[in-house]
Chains A and B, each alone.
Chain A
Amino acid sequence: MTPVEAAQRKFERVNEIIEEHGREQSALIPILQEVQAEYRYLPEEILTYIATAMGLSVATVFGVATFYAQFSLSPKGKYVVRVCDGTACHVRHSMRVYEAIRSKLNLRDGRFTTPDMMFTVETVACLGACGVAPAMVINDEVYGKMTPEAACAIIDTLLNRDGEN
């Protein structure tokens, strides 16, 4: 596939998503959500493309994409690890879990994604799993009653699983 063909392919899927939702501005957030599900992030050229296709200004689309925490303008890892730091988890020491994972994966300073694009580690305000605080979610799987050791063991399992494939 030439780069031009690849680019066309990319926009084809975006076109389908836009067709499905329509071009009203109220469709913008669902469109961005679906595009992000497809690409795991929102590439800038696609945001510009969506703006043109929907007849919105590029500023409007970027404004929305940067306002909501769910949207990411940079690629995320294969596993998105989100440690809950809601109140219930916080008072049951969620930050120790978070720090342990970061240090295990060697994430320092402003880095949240490992260089091999395997893991992105973030905090989230509340998962609503306060009953099993502290909680952590990896992609869609929720883990409860976390300790630094248990969390690191889960990361190890994922590392091993991917090592085998």
Chain B
Amino acid sequence: MMIGSRDELKAHAERFRREMAAEKKRVLVCTGPGCLANGAEKILQEFQRHAVNAVGATRTGCHGFCEVGPLVRIEPDDVVYVHVKPEDVAEIVETTLVRGEVVERLVYRDADTGAAYPKESEIPFYASQTKVALSNCGAINPDDIGEYIARDGYQALARAALDLSPDEVVQEVLASGLRGRGGGGFPTGRKWMFARQAKGEQKYVVCNADEGDPGAFMDRCIMEGDPHSVLEGLAIAARAIGADRGYIYVRAEYPIAVARMKNAARQARTRGLLGANILGSDFSFDVTIKEGAGAFVCGEETALLASIEGKRGMPRPRPPFPANEGLFGKPTIINNVETLATVPQILRRGAAWFRTIGTETSPGTKTFAVTGQVANTGLVEVPMGTTLRDVVFGIGGGVIGGKKFKAAQIGGPSGGCLPEQLLDTPLDYDSLKKAGAMVGSGGLVILDEGTCMVEVARFFMHFTQTESCGKCVPCREGTKRMLQILEKIVAGRATLDDLDILEQIAWVVKESSLCALGKTAPNPVLTTLKYFRDEYRAHIVDKKCLAGVCSAFKSYVIHPELCKGCGKCRKACPSEAIAGEIRHPHMIDAAKCAKCGACAEACAFGAISLE
């Protein structure tokens, strides 16, 4: 059914709202990545099998609180059940859906206080969040455009296409102060203005959904939970700069996101919300969903454009900026998923509203993927400027297992590690930059005292070295040399001179690389050197790993009281480092031992351990 005008859009919204209201209760089963891996699909099927009158059971995108998934929420009661299993469904149906009571044993309980929180809005994890980009995630069926329209979806596009001139759209976004959520934090309105002013008949808009930062999954969740918000945002961007064609470049590792985006585009096309003369205006626009092919560097905007063109995804120097010479040489803007998902709300609620959230220079909210050694793993959205402490200890519930906090790794491989003394840093573009880190995509990995910071730096360098495209020398060679030195340090073979060289190379790579992959690759090294230099020194000078992680400083030992002298370990050892007579305790020659662990695996008596 076509929606050809604003009145028809309103009528549709009314009708969808009535349809949804006819369901006395709605069961919202989270099928975000975490819950899905824990069997959410089966739970949904169980609900559909147990269908009761006037109850709708639907899949939704990520509810955010991955730690306690699979999650099920029941509306309008706002009751949430955690760690739900398919076997629990019958009881939920009987107790909550039929009798309207709460299943106490499935309610979330605070691990420390034991307090029970049956309602989502009261759970501390949710209570201090502000949802803008994620406002529909977990609340609607992402495969049904009607539910998006019922929640005022496509009203912002109606305003952009019917009420405002393209320049006014740019002005509104400019006034909101929205900055790119993809990492750089460049003002979105400024980018649009450049592309608006660029000369050319043909222009393009591109959504960067390559989300390559390990530890970030907000873009995935937005696409899977609320795909129409991304489409609407992209269409508004197209209206602003005068483009009639858009691309959404989705990471290949996200097949569900690809399917949801394709389905959403198909539905929007059927309703006339994509295509010619949208809502009866003179604005025409359509999109193509492109799948990436597994290259981190393709998240960089010029590399991404090369990839859409069917080439090797390598960055090129800027200027010319894509706003002037982008896809197929035409003026193009590239925006991140979360940036675009925020745009419709700005147009609907106004720039002034947006500025009431966040800080002066970083208005609005930001989603963070809180992971690692933290009690409440999940996806959270908070006003910019919220402190790291509030996110880690408030919403995140602190470090898991009562261990001590050591650092927060923020911004992925291009970000940095912030130590305890910087816990009060406000999470906004400028404060984080000052601390040597960056907002990046919003990956926030919590590290506890059992983490070796040198190993963490090595881990990230291994990642960037592998993903370096090889076009420019500083990044190609520099990341390789830095990785070699870091490997030497964790292996206990480095000298203090190596540390100096590491630092020197880090600065050279930072200052002379072609794209931001190289420019930011040294950040994990530089921040760990800045805040955890003693750990580097301990590896080099004292031959010790303070966290007890690096195996170079450990050796395998056979405990004579447990060893039966069976000889299995001797046979398993590929280095012939084990000797001993049958039925007498064996011994490991540390000089020959390669620390492969084959002996410990072979031992049936648990007599061999790494100490």
Interfacial residues, chain A to chain B (CB-CB below 8 A): 24-30, 32-33, 63-64, 67-71, 85-88, 90-92, 103, 124-133, 135, 140, 142-145
Cα distance A27–B311 when bound, in Å? 10
Question: Are the CB atoms of A132 and B294 closer together than 8 Å?
Answer: no
Question: Are the CB atoms of A68 and B445 closer together than 8 Å?
Answer: no
Cα distance A143–B39 when bound, in Å? 9
Confirm or deny: B338 has a beta carbon within 8 angstroms of a beta carbon on chain A: no
Cα distance A25–B311 when bound, in Å? 8
Cα distance A91–B37 when bound, in Å? 19
Q: Could you say which of A30, A88, A103 contacts B371, with CB atoms under 8 Å apart?
A: A88
Kindly list chain A residues whose C-beta atoms are within 8 Å of the C-beta of B445: 87-88, 91
Cα distance A32–B312 when bound, in Å? 13
Cα distance A131–B64 when bound, in Å? 9
Instruction: Report, nearest first, the 9 A-B pairs whose CB atoms are least far apart.
Output: A131-B66, A131-B34, A86-B214, A88-B371, A68-B293, A69-B294, A144-B37, A126-B214, A87-B215
Cα distance A86–B377 when bound, in Å? 15
Confirm or deny: B553 has a beta carbon within 8 angstroms of a beta carbon on chain A: no
Cα distance A124–B290 when bound, in Å? 20
Cα distance A135–B38 when bound, in Å? 11
Across the two chains, which residue of chain A brings its CB closest to B373? A91
Across the two chains, which residue of chain B brings its CB closest to A143? B37
Query: What 6 additional pairs, Cβ within 8 angstroms, besides A29-B310, A126-B213, A132-B37?
Result: A32-B293, A68-B313, A70-B294, A88-B443, A131-B217, A132-B69
Across the two chains, which residue of chain B brings its CB closest to A108? B574
Question: Are the CB atoms of A127 and B33 closer together than 8 Å?
Answer: yes
| Contacts of B29-56 to chain A: CB distance below 8 A | 32-34, 36-38
| Contacts of B493-535 to chain A: CB distance below 8 A | none
Question: Are the CB atoms of B252 and A132 closer together than 8 Å?
Answer: no
B243 CB to nearest A CB, Å: 17
Cα distance A39–B554 when bound, in Å? 46
Kindly list chain A residues whose C-beta atoms are within 8 Å of the C-beta of B329: none
Cα distance A76–B220 when bound, in Å? 27
B440 CB to nearest A CB, Å: 11
Cα distance A69–B307 when bound, in Å? 13
B303 CB to nearest A CB, Å: 10
| Contacts of B241-281 to chain A: CB distance below 8 A | 252-255
Across the two chains, which residue of chain B brings its CB closest to A141? B37
Cα distance A67–B211 when bound, in Å? 18
Kindly list chain A residues whose C-beta atoms are within 8 Å of the C-beta of B216: 126, 128, 130
Interfacial residues, chain B to chain A (CB-CB below 8 A): 32-34, 36-38, 66-67, 69, 211-217, 220, 252-255, 290-296, 307-313, 369, 371-373, 377-379, 409, 412, 443, 445, 447, 451, 456, 459-460, 463, 467, 469, 601
A88-B215, A142-B36 given as contacts; is B253 within 8 A of A127 (CB)?
yes
Question: Are the CB atoms of A125 and B369 closer together than 8 Å?
Answer: no
Question: Are the CB atoms of A131 and B253 closer together than 8 Å?
Answer: no
Cα distance A25–B306 when bound, in Å? 11
Kindly list chain A residues whose C-beta atoms are within 8 Å of the C-beta of B447: 91
Interface centre among B32, B313, B372 (most CB of A within 10 A): B372
Question: Are the CB atoms of A140 and B217 closer together than 8 Å?
Answer: no
A90-B459, A91-B447, A124-B253 given as contacts; is B293 within 8 A of A131 (CB)?
no
Question: Are the CB atoms of A142 and B293 closer together than 8 Å?
Answer: no
Interface centre among A67, A69, A92 (most CB of B within 10 A): A67
Q: Could you say which of B252, B291, B378 contacts A131, with CB atoms under 8 Å apart?
A: B378
A29-B310, A68-B295, A92-B372 given as contacts; is B214 within 8 A of A131 (CB)?
no
Q: Could you say which of B33, B293, B372, B469 contacts A71, with CB atoms under 8 Å apart?
A: B293
Kindly list chain B residues whose C-beta atoms are within 8 Å of the C-beta of A68: 292-295, 313
Kindly list chain B residues whose C-beta atoms are within 8 Å of the C-beta of A132: 33-34, 37-38, 66, 69, 377
A25-B311, A142-B37 given as contacts; is B293 within 8 A of A130 (CB)?
no
Across the two chains, which residue of chain A brings its CB closest to B218? A128
Across the two chains, which residue of chain B brings its CB closest to A68? B293
Question: Are the CB atoms of A25 and B291 closer together than 8 Å?
Answer: no
A27 CB to nearest B CB, Å: 7
Can you pick out 27 interface pairs between chain A and chain B where the beta carbons lie within 8 Å of each other? A26-B308, A26-B310, A30-B291, A32-B293, A33-B291, A63-B312, A64-B310, A68-B294, A71-B294, A86-B214, A88-B214, A88-B377, A90-B459, A103-B601, A125-B296, A126-B212, A126-B214, A126-B215, A126-B216, A126-B253, A127-B253, A129-B217, A131-B371, A132-B37, A133-B372, A140-B255, A142-B37
Cα distance A69–B466 when bound, in Å? 10
Q: Could you say which of A32, A86, A131 contacts B32, with CB atoms under 8 Å apart?
A: A131
Across the two chains, which residue of chain B brings its CB closest to A36? B293
Question: Are the CB atoms of A70 and B34 closer together than 8 Å?
Answer: no
Question: Are the CB atoms of A70 and B211 closer together than 8 Å?
Answer: no
Kindly list chain A residues whose C-beta atoms are within 8 Å of the C-beta of B469: 67
Question: Are the CB atoms of B37 and A135 closer together than 8 Å?
Answer: yes
Question: Are the CB atoms of B37 and A69 closer together than 8 Å?
Answer: no
B396 CB to nearest A CB, Å: 13
Question: Are the CB atoms of A91 and B451 closer together than 8 Å?
Answer: yes
Question: Are the CB atoms of B33 and A131 closer together than 8 Å?
Answer: yes
Cα distance A68–B310 when bound, in Å? 11
Across the two chains, which residue of chain A brings its CB closest to B33? A129
B406 CB to nearest A CB, Å: 11
Cα distance A130–B377 when bound, in Å? 8
Kindly list chain B residues whose C-beta atoms are within 8 Å of the C-beta of A30: 290-291
Kindly list chain A residues whose C-beta atoms are within 8 Å of the C-beta of B312: 63-64, 67
A64-B312, A68-B294, A87-B445 given as contacts; is B371 within 8 A of A128 (CB)?
no
Question: Are the CB atoms of B463 and A125 closer together than 8 Å?
Answer: yes
Question: Are the CB atoms of A27 and B255 closer together than 8 Å?
Answer: no
A33-B293, A88-B215 given as contacts; is B311 within 8 A of A64 (CB)?
yes
B568 CB to nearest A CB, Å: 15
B74 CB to nearest A CB, Å: 21
Kindly list chain A residues whose C-beta atoms are within 8 Å of the C-beta of B459: 87, 90
Across the two chains, which residue of chain A brings its CB closest to B470? A67
Question: Are the CB atoms of B409 and A87 closer together than 8 Å?
Answer: yes
Across the two chains, which residue of chain B brings its CB closest to A31? B310
Question: Are the CB atoms of A144 and B294 closer together than 8 Å?
Answer: no
A29 CB to nearest B CB, Å: 6
Cα distance A129–B371 when bound, in Å? 10
Across the two chains, which residue of chain A brings its CB closest to B68? A131
Kindly list chain B residues whose C-beta atoms are within 8 Å of the C-beta of A140: 255
Q: Could you say which of A128, A131, A143 contacts B211, with CB atoms under 8 Å apart?
A: A128
